[in-house]
Amino acid sequence: MFQFDTLDNGVRLLSAQQDESPSATALVMFGVGSRFEQAEQSGIAHFAEHMFFKGTERRPTARDISVEIDGIGGDFNAFTGKEYTGYYVKCAAEHLELAVDVLADMLLHSKFDSDEIEREKGVILEEMAMYRDLPQRYVGNVYDDLLFGDTPLGWDIIGTEDVIKGADRDLFKSFTDRWYTANRTVVGLAGNISQGARDAVSEKFLALPGANEGTRAPAEWSQEGPRVKLHHKDSEQAHLLLGVRAPGLESDDRYAIGVLNAILGGGMSSRLFTEVRERRGLCYYVYSHHDAYMDAGSLVVAAGVDTSRIDLAITTILEELAKLAADGPDDAEFAKAKSYLKGKFVLGIEDTRGLIMFGARREAVENGYWEPKQALAAIEAVTMDDVRRVARLFESEQRNLAIVGPFDDEARFAALLETGAAVA
On whether the CB atoms of residues 251 and 258 are closer than 8 A, the answer is no
313 contacts 283 by C-beta, under 8 angstroms: yes
* Alpha-carbon span 27 to 249, nearest angstrom: 22
List residues bridging with 12 in a β-sheet: 6, 186
Active site residue 49: yes
Distance of CA 124 to the CA centre of its chain: 19
Rounded to 5 degrees, φ, ψ at 185 are -110, 130
d(CA 191, CA 352): 6
Residue 216 gets which letter from DSSP? P
What is the C-alpha separation between 161 and 124, in angstroms, rounded?
A: 9
Q: What angle do CA 209, 215, 221 make, to 5 degrees?
A: 155
Q: Who contacts 203 (Cβ-Cβ below 8 Å, separation ≥6)?
A: none
SS3 261: helix
Contacts of 211 (CB under 8 A, 6+ apart): 10, 181, 182, 183
Contact 229, 301 (CB under 8 A): no
Among residues 49, 97, 116, 320, which one is catalytic?
A: 49
DSSP for residue 276: I
Q: What is the DSSP letter of 7?
A: -
CB-based contact 36:85 (threshold 8 Å):
no
d(CA 305, CA 298): 21
DSSP calls for 32-80? --GGG--GGGTTHHHHHHHHTTS-BSSS-SHHHHHHHHHTTT-EEEEEE
CA–CA dist 49, 225 (Å, integer): 38
The residues, ordered by sequence, that sit 6+ positions from 67 with a Cβ below 8 Å of its Cβ are: none
Q: Three-state DSSP class for 121? A: helix
Active centre residues (catalytic) = 49
